[in-house]
Structure 1
C-alpha cells in the first residue's frame, strides 16, 4: 500500500529527501542564493559540498563511483535543491543528464571509465551545445560543421544560448558531419573541452541564469580528436532523442521544487503583511490565490514522480515527459505570477525571492523544448 502521507516514497528515499533539505537549510539559505544571483557568482561552495555528499553520483552506477540509484532519487535531489536555489540544481542536472546520462546511453567504455568517476566526485561539469542563431525549435537544422581530417574533426560555426559552458569541463556539442543526407541523419555529437584553441566564449546579458551565465560560442578551425566523438558518426540526432525524456523529467523535478518555494514565500508574506488592520491572508481573494498555487504545486509533484516511476520501470514515456514538462513549467509560471500579485510592490525587489522566481519561470517554458513544440509532439503521439 502506498503511504500517501509520504508521497509513496520508501524509507530510504525519505532519508535522502531529509538529507538534502538539511543541506539546503545549512548551506543554501536565501541570502546565499540572492548573493549569487545579484553578484553573478557561481555557487561553487554549495556545489562542492553537494559533491562531497554524493549528490552528483545519484544515477551513476556503483562501479563508476556513483550510488547506482534511479530517477526517483534524482528527482528528489533536484526537487529539493531547486527549493533552495534553482541554479545550483541546474549544475547537478547538467552533470547528471547532459554528462552522466549521455555517457551511459551512448558513450564508449573508455569514456565512461574516464569521466563518470570524475562526475560523481564533482570534478567534472557538463553543458549542452545545441542551439544556434538560426536553429532553435528546428534543432535539426544546425549548421555548425565538423569536417573529418585524419584522426581529427575540424569544427567551425557558432552556438548560442549555451548555459554554463564557461564552467564546463566538457560540453556535448552537436555538429553537422554530413550535408548530403536529410538533416536528422547528418549530425554527430562530440565531447568538447571549451578551453580548446579556436573556441571563443562570449557572455550574453540575460535576465536569468545570472550566476551560471548564458553564452554564445564561436568555433574557428577547432580540432577535436575522433576519440572525443560521442556515440556513432552521423547518429547524433537519434542519440539526443534517447535522452529527451530524462532531460524533460529533470526540468519538471527542478520546477516542482522551485514552485513549492514560491508558494511558501507567498504564504509566509501573506501571513505577515498587515493591511486594513489584519494579515492579507485573511482576505478571501488572497486565500483563493494561495489555494490555487498550492494545488498546482501539488499536481506538479504528482505528475513529476509518476514520470520518474515510469522511467525507473523502463516504460516508454516520451509523451508523458512532454506532458510533465509542459504542465510543471506553466504551473510554476502561474504560481510566480500570482505570487507577484500577492507581494505587490515588494515582489519586484530582490529582498524577496519572488522576483527571481518570476524571471526563472518565464525561461522554463522555453528551455528543453518550447511548450508549443512539445504540444506538437504530444499530438503526434496521439496520431492526430
Structure 2
C-alpha cells in the first residue's frame, strides 16, 4: 500500500495539521485530490451529475447502491469517511448551482467545482441554532446595489480550502419561518469574513470552522436562487445527502457485520469457535436482520425520490437516515466487542467507523429532528403549523 501512514493506526496523526488548527494536511488533501482525478479520468466520477456537467444523470436508486457498496468495502480512498470524498462524486452543491445558480455563477463556480479546481463551503448551522434553520441570527440587509451580511456560522465545513461559502442569512420575514432566508455565494477572501478557529472533533482531522461575518459586503449577483427562498437550496442539499448518508451507513454496518462473522468463525474460545456461542450468534443475527430491512427501505425511498422528485418522500428519507446511522454505530460497537481487545485498537477500523458515523446522527439533522419530520407527516403538523427545513 502506498502512504500506509494515512490508513493504519497512525492515520489521524498523518492526516491532521496540528499547527494549523487541526485541519487536513496538504499532503492528505493532495492524495484525495489525486484519487478524484483518477476516478474522473476513468469515467465514473461524474456518474450522478447531469449530462450538462459531464455526468450520466445517475438515479437515486443507483447512487444508493453505489454508496452502500463503497462503504461495504471498508475505509479507504474509494470512500474516505472524514471528508465525504468518494470515487463516485457526491457534489450536492454542484446540483444546487446547476438548478438555482445564474449563468454567471455557473460559469465562475460550477465548472471549476466539478473539475476539482475549487471547493465550495456550506454555511447554514449557527452557534445558537443547529437543526432549526429557520431561526437564523445571521442577517443581510440591502445597501444600494449590495448586500451587507452580519452574523456567525458553525461547523462550516471545507472553508479551509474553499473559494466561496454558500451563506444563508435572513433578509426578511419572521423567525421560525422558512420565507425570508436568502442564500449568498460569499468569496472567502471578502473583507469581514473571518475564521477564528476550527472545532476539534471526535473524528480528526477537522475542517469544521467557526466563521464570523462582520459587515461582509457582496453584490446582488451573489444571491443564489430567489431572494427570501434560500432554504429551497438547502432543502435540495440536505435531502439528497440524507439518503446517501443512510446508504453509506448501511454499507459500513454490513462491513462490520461481515468482519465480525469472519472473525467469529476463526477465533477459538473455551475450546470451540466463537461463532458457536449463541450469545455471539444472536447479536450478529439481529444486526444482519436490521441491515436487510434498512436496505429494502433505502432502495424504496430512493425509488420514490426518482419517481416523484428529489425533495419528495421526506418522512421516508428521515426514517432511513435515522435507522441506518444508528445501525452503523451499533454494528461498529458490536464489531469491537466481538473482536475483543484488538477490536478496540486502531489496528482495526471499527473505532474509526464508529467515530465517523456517530457524526451522521447530528450533521444532516439530528436523530431527534428526523423523528420530528416523521411525526410531522404522521400527524400532519406541516399543513397546520408550517414546517422547518432542518
- Which bracket does the TM-score occupy, shorter chain normalised? 0.7 to 0.9
Whole-Å separation in 1 of the counterparts to 2:8 and 2:218: 37
Which residue is equivalent to 2:291? 297
Deviations 1:221-241 (A, max 9, x none): 222232221111111124323
- Any conservation in 1 of the 2:332–2:350 contact (CA below 8 Å)? yes
Aligned residues: 358
Which residue is equivalent to 1:78? 67
Tell me if 1:105 matches 2:66.
no
Deviations 1:3-50 (A, max 9, x none): xxxxxxxxxxxxxxxxxxxxxxx8899963765444334433333333
- Any conservation in 1 of the 2:39–2:87 contact (CA below 8 Å)? no
Q: TM-score normalised to the size of structure 1?
A: 0.82
Whole-Å separation in 1 of the counterparts to 2:256 and 2:378: 34
Higher relative contact order (Cα pairs below 8 Å, separated by 6+ residues): 2
- Any conservation in 2 of the 1:296–1:335 contact (CA below 8 Å)? no
Q: Give the superposition deviation at 1:326.
A: 1.1
Alpha carbons of structure 1 residues 262 and 192: separation in structure 2 relative to 1, 3 Å? farther
Q: TM-score normalised to the size of structure 2?
A: 0.81
Which residue is equivalent to 2:25? none
Listed as ranges, the matches of 1:247-258 within 5 Å are 247-258=241-252
Q: Unaligned 5+ residue runs, structure 1?
A: 1-25
Q: Choose from 112, 124, 129 the match for 2:123.
A: 129
Deviates more, 1:356-365 or 1:81-90: 81-90
Which residue is equivalent to 1:9? none
Q: Give the superposition deviation at 1:252.
A: 1.0
What RMSD over aligned residues (CA atoms) do the two structures have, in Å?
Answer: 2.9
Tell me if 1:346 matches 2:326.
no
Whole-Å separation in 2 of the counterparts to 1:234 and 1:368: 22
Alpha carbons of structure 1 residues 172 and 265: separation in structure 2 relative to 1, 3 Å? farther
Tell me if 1:32 matches 2:21.
no
Deviations 1:83-132 (A, max 9, x none): 34342671359974531221233222433344433333233433321111
- Any conservation in 2 of the 1:130–1:173 contact (CA below 8 Å)? yes
SS at match of 2:178: helix
Which residue is equivalent to 1:369? 365
Whole-Å separation in 2 of the counterparts to 1:94 and 1:238: 25
Whole-Å separation in 2 of the counterparts to 1:185 and 1:275: 62
Which residue is equivalent to 1:65? 54
Listed as ranges, the matches of 1:1-384 within 5 Å are 32=7, 36-39=11-14, 40=16, 41-42=28-29, 43-83=32-72, 84-85=74-75, 86-87=80-81, 90-92=84-86, 96-178=90-172, 183-201=177-195, 202-208=197-203, 210-314=204-308, 316-383=312-379
Deviations 1:183-226 (A, max 9, x none): 42221011233343332222111112x24532211222222232
Alpha carbons of structure 1 residues 256 and 181: separation in structure 2 relative to 1, 3 Å? closer
Which residue is equivalent to 1:18? none
- Any conservation in 1 of the 2:301–2:313 contact (CA below 8 Å)? yes
Q: Give the superposition deviation at 1:307.
A: 1.6
- Any conservation in 1 of the 2:243–2:302 contact (CA below 8 Å)? yes
- Any conservation in 1 of the 2:141–2:148 contact (CA below 8 Å)? yes
Q: Greater helix share, 1 or 2? A: 1
